[in-house]
């Protein structure tokens, strides 16, 4: 009997390429510059992107992976996804990850290899407990960190409103065991700096401030997915039901535009506001029809008030998303109200067609009533929100169409539609249209939008990527948008703006990568008030990146970068700049990396986000602003095959500044030093 052709090819390719490629833990630095190239909102990007790293840290099985899961990686274009699915259908089960070398070029293979695996058939014959005990993808993370300087919130000079209840130590622990397309279980514990460790069931305090857990089983008969504990949902284009993480507009201008239709996912992030808690199930009714359902009940942080018109009625003026519970007011906001969610999705999938109906209902324990202001007249007010909608995705050859429509009962609606296409082997393009009415609201949406919340916006997006050859490629996008009603910091109706980005990559050799990026965003903003009339003007933000990565040898690598920004509004021009040098050195079990950066910005509008190397599954994306020096050193030591240790020190030294930060975080001085220790134990 002759061996299958795929096994012969796999054997040949493995001999040829295994000498210069070894699969290991993925390094997010290679994804950051392409996928996370634009940060311009005042949100915590570290928690946001950390969720993406958590998803990628659980490799997908090549014999079960769907086109939607491949799209989540944002590495493959439509032509490459189609080529993989066709190969798997014709060649049969994948033998090893190295078999991908028959489908993709070397660069693509090395990008995707850390995120995929091939499950061994003999492991499936063991019961669930033996599979858990023998699973190599099981680990425990322990992390501790703190700021070395005294901060006002921990001193006797702190006022009651700024005094922190706990120590300045940050502590975090995570355990997870998972097997692709089989099971996942784990828990996460976290104490932020300033929070206390206490046991008080009356206030739902059980030791650590944040405790998360999940148990998941997959592909057990008709039950395709079952999760108990904390989870997130990603259906359609994320208009009605989207995980809290959603990649926005960026240099990877084509593949990241479409949201993957992933269903229910375990929640393992440190972000404390973006998850459901309860149970979720995906049940296969027929081969083409699947029913998804979720029930969730959890506490939400918010500013709870007593209604002055009724001594028995409470209402919420705002929802808090920081997850911080250090001061008396933050502790009072902790789990201030309950939130109940129920949702159902009926999905029809037949080859290239994926369509479904979505119903989602949210009920708060007390009504949310925003304090009136000119821009928030159409914000959600009340205690119930119910939406219903449908999505339709269809792939044809090297193109994929995606869309979703959602209607809020007795309120506004939203629609997203677009197409991705590999027009040639060198040219990929994307085009989409979005419209979110001013009275549309969804508490679990990650649809692409100009604002942090998809509401009060209409836009048209066009993106492209052209690969000249292995050395050169060019990408970019143009986004035109308008706002029917007033917005925060823009009290003018019927305003509009635009944004564009252009990026050129040059890889003269395998050891050198250079890219140049330019981005401009233009949109209106308040400039002041003249009596009862608010004055606005068009603000323009420009940013430029020049980056060079150089690998001297197998041990030593360098990165040099210059970032520049400018902002102009009503005749006032401000600027910001950072220049940095990174060095990475690796020898045997030790990896050492560091940075020295000089930065200067005129104001917060010119803050510069720069990715920093950090411990495993930690995403560090601080905003540089002011004038000073930023430096850090990260040491990783592999104690043995089971234990890895990371130690990190970072310092920000400000020039011509005698005080850092504000409130309880205030440091009387010109420097801030942070230390971190992390250990990973594999089982």
How large is the average pLDDT for residues 284-291? Answer: 97
| pLDDT tens per residue across span 146-181 | 999 999 999 988 888 899 999 999 999 999 998 888
What 3-state class would DSSP assign to 232? strand
- In this structure, are residues 621 and 594 in contact, taking their beta carbons and an 8 Å threshold? no
Q: Is the CA virtual torsion 106, 111, 114, 116 positive or negative? A: negative
Pair 371, 317: CB distance under 8 Å: yes
Residue 191 near residue 171 (C-beta atoms within 8 A): yes
pLDDT confidence of residue 34:
63
CA distance 484 to 303: 29
Which residues, at least 6 apart from 29, have a Cβ–Cβ distance to it below 8 Å?
611, 613
* Helix, strand, coil percent values for the chain (each to nearest 5): 15, 50, 35
> pLDDT tens digits, residue range 636-670?
999 998 999 999 999 999 998 999 999 999 999 99
Q: What is the DSSP letter of 78?
A: H
Over the chain, what is the mean pLDDT? 88
Query: How does residue 3 score in pLDDT terms, banded at 50, 70 and 90?
Result: very low
Confidence of residue 110 (pLDDT cuts 50, 70, 90): confident
Overall residue count recorded for the chain in this entry: 683
Phi, psi of 74 (to 5 degrees): 55, 30
CA distance 110 to 646: 25
Neighbours of 356 (CB within 10 A): 22
Could you say which architecture CATH assigns to the domain 5-682? Beta Barrel (2.40)
51-93 residue pLDDT tens: 667 667 778 889 988 888 888 888 888 999 999 999 998 988 8
More confident residue, 81 or 111: 81
Segment 264-289 shows an average pLDDT of 93
**CB contact at 8 A, 195 and 207:** no
- Is 402 in contact with 417 (CB distance < 8 Å)? yes
Percentage of residues in the chain having pLDDT higher than 90: 63
Instruction: Print the SS3 string covering 472-496.
Output: EEEEEEEEEEEECCCECCECCCCEE
pLDDT tens-digit map of 402-440: 999 999 998 999 999 999 999 998 999 999 999 999 999
Highest mean pLDDT among 31-40, 252-261, 594-603: 594-603
CB-CB contact of 438 with 486 (8 Å): no
Please report, for the chain, how many H helices and E strands are present, in that order: 8, 35
29: confidence class by pLDDT, cuts 50, 70, 90: low
pLDDT score of 46: 62
Contacts (Cβ under 8 Å, ≥6 apart) of 562: 545, 546, 547, 577, 578, 579
Parallel, antiparallel, or unpaired: how do β-strands 337-350 and 289-300 relate? antiparallel
6 pLDDT band, cuts 50/70/90, is very low
pLDDT tens digits for 510-540? 899 999 999 999 999 999 877 677 889 999 9
Distances (CA, A) of 61 to 85, 207, 256, 297: 13, 37, 22, 32
Tell me how far apart the alpha carbons of residues 176 and 137 are, in angstroms, rounded to a whole number. Answer: 8
Residue 32 to residue 46: CA distance in whole angstroms: 12
Q: Where are the domains of the chain?
A: 5-682
Taking CA 373 as the corner, what is the angle to CA 368 and CA 376, rounded to the nearest 5 degrees?
A: 60
The pLDDT value recorded for residue 656 is: 86
Residue-wise pLDDT tens digits, 299-348: 999 998 876 555 557 888 989 988 999 999 999 999 999 999 999 999 99
pLDDT at 1: 39
**Is the pLDDT assigned to residue 17 strictly greater than 50?**
no
Q: Which among 596, 592, 585, 593 has a CA at the least distance from the CA of 561?
A: 596
pLDDT of residue 113: 85
- Judge whether residue 35 has pLDDT over 70: no
Give this prediction's pTM.
Answer: 0.89
- Specify the pLDDT at position 628: 96
* Cβ atoms of 354 and 366 closer than 8 Å: no
């Amino acid at each position: 009997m002759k061996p299958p052709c795929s096994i012969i090819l796999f054997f040949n390719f493995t001999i040829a390429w295994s000498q210069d490629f070894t699969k290991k833990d993925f390094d997010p630095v290679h994804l950051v510059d392409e996928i996370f190239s634009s940060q311009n909102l005042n949100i915590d990007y570290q928690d946001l992107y950390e969720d993406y790293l958590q998803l990628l840290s659980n490799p997908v099985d090549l014999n079960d992976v769907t086109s939607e899961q491949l799209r989540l990686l944002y590495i493959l274009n439509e032509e490459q996804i189609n080529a993989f699915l066709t190969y798997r259908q014709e060649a049969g089960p994948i033998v090893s990850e190295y078999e991908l070398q028959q489908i993709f070029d070397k660069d693509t293979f090395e990008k995707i290899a850390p995120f995929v695996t091939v499950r061994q058939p003999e492991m499936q014959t063991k019961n669930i407990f033996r599979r858990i005990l023998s699973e190599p993808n099981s680990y425990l993370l322990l992390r501790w960190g703190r700021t070395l300087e005294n901060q006002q919130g921990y001193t006797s000079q702190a006022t009651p409103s700024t005094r922190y209840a706990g120590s300045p130590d940050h502590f975090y622990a995570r355990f997870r065991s998972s097997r692709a397309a089989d099971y996942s279980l784990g828990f996460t514990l976290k104490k932020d700096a300033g929070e206390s460790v206490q046991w008080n069931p009356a206030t739902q305090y059980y030791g650590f401030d944040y405790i998360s857990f999940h148990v998941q089983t997959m592909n057990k008969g008709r039950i395709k997915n079952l999760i108990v504990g904390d989870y997130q949902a990603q259906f359609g284009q994320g208009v009605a039901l989207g995980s809290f993480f959603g990649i926005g507009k960026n240099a990877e201008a084509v593949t990241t535009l479409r949201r993957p239709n992933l269903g229910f996912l375990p929640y393992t992030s440190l972000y404390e506001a973006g998850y459901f808690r309860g149970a979720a199930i995906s049940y296969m009714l027929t081969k083409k029809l699947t029913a998804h359902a979720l029930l969730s009940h959890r506490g939400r942080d918010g500013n709870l008030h007593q209604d002055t018109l009724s001594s028995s009625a409470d209402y919420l003026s705002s929802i808090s998303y920081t997850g911080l519970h250090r001061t008396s007011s933050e502790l009072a906001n902790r789990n201030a109200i309950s939130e109940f969610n129920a949702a159902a999705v009926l999905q029809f999938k037949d080859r290239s067609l994926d369509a479904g109906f979505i119903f989602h209902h949210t009920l708060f324990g007390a009504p949310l009533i925003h304090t009136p202001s000119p821009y928030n007249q159409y914000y959600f007010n009340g205690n119930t929100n119910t939406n219903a909608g449908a999505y339709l995705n269809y792939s044809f050859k090297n193109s994929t169409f995606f869309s979703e429509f959602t209607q809020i009962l007795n309120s506004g609606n939203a629609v997203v539609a677009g197409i991705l296409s590999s027009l040639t082997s060198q040219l990929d393009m994307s085009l989409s249209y979005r419209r979110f009415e001013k009275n549309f609201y969804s508490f679990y949406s990650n649809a692409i939008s100009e604002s942090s919340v998809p509401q009060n916006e209409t836009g048209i997006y066009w993106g492209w990527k052209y690969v000249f050859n292995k050395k050169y490629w060019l990408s970019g996008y143009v986004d035109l948008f308008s706002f029917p009603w007033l917005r925060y910091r823009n009290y003018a109706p019927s305003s509009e703006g635009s944004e564009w980005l252009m990026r050129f990559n040059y890889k003269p050799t395998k050891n050198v990568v250079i890219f140049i990026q330019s981005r401009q965003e233009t949109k209106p903003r308040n400039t002041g008030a003249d009596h009862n009339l608010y004055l606005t003007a068009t603000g323009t933000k420009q940013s430029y990146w020049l980056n060079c990565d150089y690998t001297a040898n197998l041990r030593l690598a360098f990165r040099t970068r210059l970032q520049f920004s400018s902002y102009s509004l009503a005749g006032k021009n401000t600027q910001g700049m950072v220049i940095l040098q990174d060095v990475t050195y690796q020898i045997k079990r030790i990896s050492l990396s560091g940075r020295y950066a000089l930065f200067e910005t005129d104001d917060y509008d010119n803050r510069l986000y720069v990715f920093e190397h950090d411990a495993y599954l930690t995403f560090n994306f601080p905003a540089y602003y002011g004038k000073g020096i930023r430096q850090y050193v990260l040491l990783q030591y592999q104690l043995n095959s089971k234990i890895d240790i990371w130690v990190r020190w970072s310092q920000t030294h400000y020039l011509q500044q005698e005080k850092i930060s504000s409130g309880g975080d205030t440091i009387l001085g010109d420097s801030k030093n942070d230390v971190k220790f992390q250990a990973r134990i594999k089982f």
